[in-house]
């Protein structure tokens, strides 16, 4: 009997220990976080070296978890040729197929404009969220998702500069986040996740004031930190991997959390269940269909010029270049500014102008960056150009720009000396029409357009909802790019000092020879006349 009681007590204690262990563990949910796909959901449309994590593996990863959410932290709708030309539908459709539950509207996604984002929100199975952008129809400030037995609240964060914030009627980020957090908690959220970007807002400033957020996954921080009980985690760019966060929820609160980055290579090596493999296969089939549909768009004709159209080779981008000038002039014409600058490094191949398709153009200029306009004085323009030529150097075979800062120009031209000391390389700047700009002039004002990431010194940038691709494609579609178009030296804007001096020297010599020939002819005629009189 005593032995029976002892055994019974052991069984009870063991059972209690197991129960206590199970209770301590709580309910596990997995959160898969991505960011910055920039529309690159089709590997065939992306350079392999810069391809993001294949979203097919996200579909499989979610399928093999009993309780999982997939959250995109922003800037995944806009970017690739397929996505741009489909108005974001290409990316949105594939995100839905991959199992994304929601996507934060990133600052880059706003290239589609308010109407474009609203249209995507209305036609998309993936919820678009942003606490500050609810003035856009269809965008939610946050959502509730049931994940197993846990109710998860998700808040979208979109960090914007002042001008963009004003244009889209965005709310102040801290105030909006606090309000949404309280609302989600009141609606029954067991755990609240804030996801997205903070822009210029310091993470400690926001999460020290916002209560109730358990986990924050942020794109524009590099290190994990904890602020007033909120664990703030960095989210990698999709080309680096995805963030996998495992939460254990106990008594309606986060009991423990573990996070790790999964690279594309690690995902490729994973073994998935048969059901998960089927999800992966289904996604790949959907992607193939989408790529075929939008591939036809890319193959469509953008412009067809006369047979006398010219081939625009890549050529030397550190001096006169008709393709570089064409890109800059497209921006200037599109925004109706005095001047334009275009980063030469964004042009990667030549362009045959006889028949141009969207694919040809995106191969030559794979650039989808928003435009900005600024007001510059001649003094400020000299500063910008000095920075642009500061990296040019001789490498034994010619001049190179390893830092990729050189800018092609339209509306004006300049002469620079790559051998001169820094900040003394720009020798002259002349506006179209022949007006020479004075380096010391800090009063005369001109308008200038460039792309968002161009170094424009400390000029206040006015952000456009349109991109360089919009500008270049429209210009090409409406311009006959024939040999005649370029024969008058439209693109002759930029000279290196030695080339410029040589050309001036040659020009002077040619003029002198012409004068000498004319003088000789006049003298010969005069001699003949005298003979005739005699």
Residue with tokens 């032995």: 3
Question: What confidence score (pLDDT) does residue 2 get?
Answer: 44
Of residues 166 and 329, more confidently modeled: 329
pLDDT grade for 464, boundaries at 50, 70 and 90: confident
Percent of the chain clearing pLDDT 90 (strictly above) = 49
Closest CA to 439 of 492, 385, 501, 493: 385
Please name the residues in contact with 183: beta carbons below 8 A apart, sequence gap of 6 or more: 142
Q: What's the rounded Cα separation, in Å, for the pair 392 and 388?
A: 8
The gap from C-alpha 357 to its chain's centroid, in whole angstroms, comes to: 22
25 contacts 64 by C-beta, under 8 angstroms: no
pLDDT grade for 16, boundaries at 50, 70 and 90: very low
Residue count of the chain: 534
pLDDT grade for 44, boundaries at 50, 70 and 90: low
Closest CA to 155 of 117, 189, 204: 189
Alpha helices, H only, 318-394: 322-335, 358-364, 378-389
Question: What confidence score (pLDDT) does residue 359 get?
Answer: 77
φ and ψ of 177, to 5 deg:
-65, -45
Q: In the predicted model, is pLDDT for residue 290 greater than 50?
A: yes
Q: In the predicted model, is pLDDT for residue 497 greater than 80?
A: no
Question: What confidence score (pLDDT) does residue 244 get?
Answer: 94
Q: In the predicted model, is pLDDT for residue 262 greater than 80?
A: yes
Q: In the predicted model, is pLDDT for residue 23 greater than 70?
A: no
Question: What confidence score (pLDDT) does residue 528 get?
Answer: 62
Of residues 386 and 108, more confidently modeled: 386
Q: Give the model confidence (pLDDT) of 332-353 as tens digits.
A: 999 999 999 999 888 888 887 7
Question: What confidence score (pLDDT) does residue 415 get?
Answer: 94
pLDDT grade for 5, boundaries at 50, 70 and 90: very low
467 contacts 365 by C-beta, under 8 angstroms: no
Q: Give the model confidence (pLDDT) of 147-196 as tens digits.
A: 988 999 999 999 987 777 887 889 999 999 999 999 999 999 999 999 99
What are the Cα distances from residue 91, in Å, to 13, 84, 346, 398?
55, 9, 23, 42
Q: Give the model confidence (pLDDT) of 381-408 as tens digits.
A: 999 999 999 999 887 778 888 888 999 9
- Paired tokens of 267: 């995902």
Lowest mean pLDDT segment, chosen from 108-112, 224-228, 424-428: 108-112
pLDDT averaged over every residue in the chain: 84
482 contacts 305 by C-beta, under 8 angstroms: yes
321 contacts 408 by C-beta, under 8 angstroms: yes
Question: What confidence score (pLDDT) does residue 85 get?
Answer: 75
SS3 per-residue string spanning 427-474: EEEEECCCEECCCCCCCCCEEEEEECCCCCCCCCCEEEEEEHHHHHHH
Question: What confidence score (pLDDT) does residue 424 get?
Answer: 95
Lowest mean pLDDT segment, chosen from 24-28, 66-70, 291-295, 445-449: 24-28
Average pLDDT over residues 213-227: 93
pLDDT grade for 368, boundaries at 50, 70 and 90: confident
Lowest mean pLDDT segment, chosen from 207-216, 455-464, 479-488: 479-488
Q: In the predicted model, is pLDDT for residue 7 greater than 90?
A: no
Average pLDDT over residues 130-143: 93
Question: What confidence score (pLDDT) does residue 487 get?
Answer: 58
Question: What confidence score (pLDDT) does residue 467 get?
Answer: 85
Q: In the predicted model, is pLDDT for residue 43 greater than 90?
A: no
Q: In the predicted model, is pLDDT for residue 507 greater than 70?
A: no
Q: What's the rounded Cα separation, in Å, for the pair 211 and 177?
A: 9
Average pLDDT over residues 107-111: 86
Question: What confidence score (pLDDT) does residue 404 get?
Answer: 83
- Within 10 A of 99 (CB to CB), how many other CB atoms are there? 20
Average pLDDT over residues 427-443: 95
Please name the residues in contact with 515: beta carbons below 8 A apart, sequence gap of 6 or more: none
Of residues 305 and 196, more confidently modeled: 196
- Paired tokens of 367: 């650039």
Lowest mean pLDDT segment, chosen from 200-204, 431-435, 518-522: 518-522
Of residues 178 and 319, more confidently modeled: 178
Question: What confidence score (pLDDT) does residue 319 get?
Answer: 86
Beta strands in 181-240 (DSSP E): 191-196, 215-218, 225-227, 230-234
Q: In the predicted model, is pLDDT for residue 508 greater than 80?
A: no
Lowest mean pLDDT segment, chosen from 110-114, 175-179, 185-189, 306-310: 306-310
């Amino acid at each position: 009997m005593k032995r029976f009681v002892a055994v019974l007590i052991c069984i009870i204690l063991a059972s209690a220990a197991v129960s206590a262990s199970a209770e301590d563990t709580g309910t596990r949910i997995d959160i898969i976080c991505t960011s910055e796909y920039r529309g690159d959901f089709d590997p065939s449309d992306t350079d392999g070296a810069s391809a993001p994590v294949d979203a097919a593996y996200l579909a499989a990863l979610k399928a093999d978890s009993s309780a999982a959410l997939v959250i995109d932290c922003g800037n995944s709708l806009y970017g690739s040729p397929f996505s741009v030309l489909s108005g974001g539908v290409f990316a949105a459709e594939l995100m839905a197929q991959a199992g994304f539950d929601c996507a934060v509207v990133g600052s880059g996604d706003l290239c589609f404009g308010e109407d474009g984002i609203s249209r995507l929100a209305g036609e998309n199975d993936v919820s678009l969220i942003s606490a500050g952008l609810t003035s856009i129809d269809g965008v939610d400030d946050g959502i509730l998702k049931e994940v197993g037995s846990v109710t998860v609240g998700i808040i979208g964060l979109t960090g914007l500069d002042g001008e963009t914030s004003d244009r889209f009627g965005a709310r102040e980020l801290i105030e909006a986040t606090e309000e949404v957090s309280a609302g989600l908690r009141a609606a029954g959220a067991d755990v609240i996740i804030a996801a997205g970007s903070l822009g210029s807002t310091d993470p400690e400033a926001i999460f020290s004031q916002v209560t109730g957020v358990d986990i924050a996954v942020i794109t524009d921080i590099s290190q994990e930190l904890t602020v007033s009980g909120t664990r703030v985690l960095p989210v990698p760019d999709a080309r680096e991997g995805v963030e996998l966060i495992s939460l254990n929820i106990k008594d309606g609160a986060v009991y423990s959390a573990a996070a790790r980055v999964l690279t594309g290579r690690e995902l490729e090596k994973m073994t998935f269940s048969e059901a998960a493999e089927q999800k992966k296969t289904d996604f790949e089939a959907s992607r193939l269909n989408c790529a075929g549909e939008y591939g036809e768009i890319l193959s469509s004709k953008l412009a067809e010029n006369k047979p006398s159209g010219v081939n625009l080779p890549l050529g030397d981008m550190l001096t006169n270049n008709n393709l570089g000038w064409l890109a800059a002039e497209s921006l200037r014409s599109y925004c109706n500014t005095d001047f334009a600058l275009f980063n030469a490094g964004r042009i990667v191949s030549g362009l045959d102008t006889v028949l141009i398709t969207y694919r040809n153009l995106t191969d030559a200029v794979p650039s989808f960056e928003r435009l900005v306009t600024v007001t510059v004085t001649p003094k400020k323009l000299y500063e910008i150009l000095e920075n642009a030529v500061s990296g040019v150097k001789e490498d034994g075979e010619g001049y190179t720009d390893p830092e990729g800062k050189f800018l092609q120009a339209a509306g004006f031209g300049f002469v620079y000396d790559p051998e001169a000391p820094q900040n003394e390389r720009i020798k002259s700047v002349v506006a179209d029409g022949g007006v020479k700009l004075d380096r010391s002039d800090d009063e005369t004002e001109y308008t200038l357009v460039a792309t968002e990431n161009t170094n424009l010194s400390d000029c206040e940038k006015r952000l456009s909802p349109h991109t360089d691709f919009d500008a270049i494609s429209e210009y090409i579609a409406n311009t006959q790019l024939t040999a005649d178009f370029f024969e008058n030296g439209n693109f002759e804007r930029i000279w290196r000092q030695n080339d410029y001096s040589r050309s001036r020297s040659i020009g002077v010599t040619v003029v002198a020879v012409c004068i000498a020939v004319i003088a000789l002819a006049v003298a010969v005629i005069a001699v003949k006349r005298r003979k005739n009189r005699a």
